């Protein structure tokens, strides 16, 4: 158990840094880590996948709130974008949480592994398309935001990894896109967490759990990640983020393959 908490703290360290630097929320690290560790912490096998996702979303609340505040202090958040995307992102997150808490756990793990591969491909890809001009088409943005909300809450990744490329398409500067993604991830994670907690209220009988949110693991990851997320936001201003993205993408591929094999 002690080793499990040490690994949770290490995962929180990595998740917090990546959240601040890349705006990805940390769920990409938290979910596979929890899938590996929760069985050893006494969680029944049939609860591991949904509890990993629900707990990951709970950690994202504190991680991205810390990172978002750091971006706010640097005046990097474009609030017009937040107001445009956040309402439908949240609605999609509630729907995604409902689906994730209802489907077969093995299928949920495979969906997460598939999303990891797609995110890795996006990070490795050298160029991304951009809109021909800077005009914001509100309906397409809301449509894609709703889809991002569903996928993110379904697999517990917070949304930043998908919000950032959408903003990049509309020619939003990378640093501003990461800041907007952090705010959107806070809101999405709050409602996603509440959905997983509510959906698991009757079927989960585990000490220390509120529905599909396992509080000891949440504390182990969340406290550390919240403390280091502001450092990640500062490093984003100095480090060659592009090279970090590609290295991280290769890690995602390895984790994804392992999740497919073990499911």
- Which one-letter DSSP state was computed for residue 40? G
Q: Angle 216-218-220 (CA atoms, 0-180°, nearest 5)?
A: 70
- What confidence score (pLDDT) does residue 245 get? 67
- What confidence score (pLDDT) does residue 139 get? 81
SS3 content of the chain, % helix, strand, coil (to 5): 80, 0, 20
Question: What tokens does 210 get?
Answer: 């509120």
- What confidence score (pLDDT) does residue 13 get? 87
Question: What tokens does 216 get?
Answer: 């000891």
In Å, how far from its chain's centre is CA 93? Answer: 12
> Mean pLDDT lowest for which of 133-142, 146-155, 172-181, 214-223?
133-142
Q: Higher-confidence residue: 185 or 1?
A: 185
Looking at the predicted structure, is the pLDDT value of residue 71 above 90?
Answer: no
> Mean pLDDT lowest for which of 11-15, 45-49, 238-242?
238-242
> Mean pLDDT lowest for which of 64-73, 104-113, 167-176, 239-248?
239-248
Looking at the predicted structure, is the pLDDT value of residue 63 above 90?
Answer: no
Phi, psi for 95 (deg, rounded to 5):
-65, -45
Looking at the predicted structure, is the pLDDT value of residue 124 above 80?
Answer: no
Look-up of token digits 């393959």: 257
Task: Tell me the mean pLDDT in the region 57-80.
Answer: 86
pLDDT category of residue 202 using cuts at 50, 70 and 90:
confident
Q: What is the spatial distance between Cα 131 and Cα 105, in angstroms, rounded to a whole number? A: 38
Looking at the predicted structure, is the pLDDT value of residue 205 above 80?
Answer: yes
Looking at the predicted structure, is the pLDDT value of residue 14 above 60?
Answer: yes
- What confidence score (pLDDT) does residue 189 get? 92
Looking at the predicted structure, is the pLDDT value of residue 228 above 80?
Answer: yes
Task: Tell me the mean pLDDT in the region 122-145.
Answer: 71
Task: Tell me the mean pLDDT in the region 114-130.
Answer: 72
User: Which residues, 6+ apart, have CB-to-CB distance to 168 below 8 Å?
Assistant: 128, 130, 174, 177
What is the average pLDDT score of the chain?
83
Q: What is the spatial distance between Cα 30 and Cα 35, in angstroms, rounded to a whole number? A: 9
Looking at the predicted structure, is the pLDDT value of residue 232 above 90?
Answer: no
- What confidence score (pLDDT) does residue 149 get? 92
Burial 94-108 (b: 16+ CB within 10 A, else e): bbbbbbbbeeebeeb
Q: Higher-confidence residue: 39 or 236?
A: 39
Looking at the predicted structure, is the pLDDT value of residue 236 above 70?
Answer: no
């Amino acid at each position: 158990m002690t080793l499990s908490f040490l690994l949770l703290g290490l995962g929180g360290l990595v998740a917090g840094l990546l959240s601040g630097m890349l705006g990805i929320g940390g769920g990409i690290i938290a979910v596979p880590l929890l899938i590996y560790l929760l069985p050893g912490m006494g969680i029944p096998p049939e609860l591991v996948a949904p509890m990993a996702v629900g707990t990951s979303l709970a950690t994202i609340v504190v991680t991205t709130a810390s990172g978002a505040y750091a971006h706010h202090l640097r005046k990097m958040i474009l609030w017009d974008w937040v107001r445009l995307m956040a309402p439908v992102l949240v609605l999609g997150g509630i729907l995604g949480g409902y689906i994730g808490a209802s489907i077969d756990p093995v299928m949920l793990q495979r969906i997460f592994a598939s999303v990891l591969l797609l995110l890795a491909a996006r990070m490795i890809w050298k160029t991304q398309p951009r809109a021909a001009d800077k005009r914001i088409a509100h309906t397409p943005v809301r449509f894609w935001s709703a889809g991002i909300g569903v996928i993110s809450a379904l697999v517990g990744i917070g949304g930043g990894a998908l919000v950032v490329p959408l903003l990049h398409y509309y020619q939003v500067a990378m640093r501003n896109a990461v800041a907007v993604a952090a705010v959107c991830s806070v809101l999405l994670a709050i409602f996603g967490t509440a959905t997983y907690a509510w959906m698991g209220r009757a079927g989960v009988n585990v000490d220390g759990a509120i529905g599909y949110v396992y509080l000891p693991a949440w504390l182990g990851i969340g406290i550390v990640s919240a403390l280091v997320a502001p450092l990640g936001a500062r490093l984003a201003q100095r480090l060659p983020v592009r090279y970090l993205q590609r290295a991280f993408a290769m890690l995602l591929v390895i984790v994804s393959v392992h999740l497919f094999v073990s499911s």
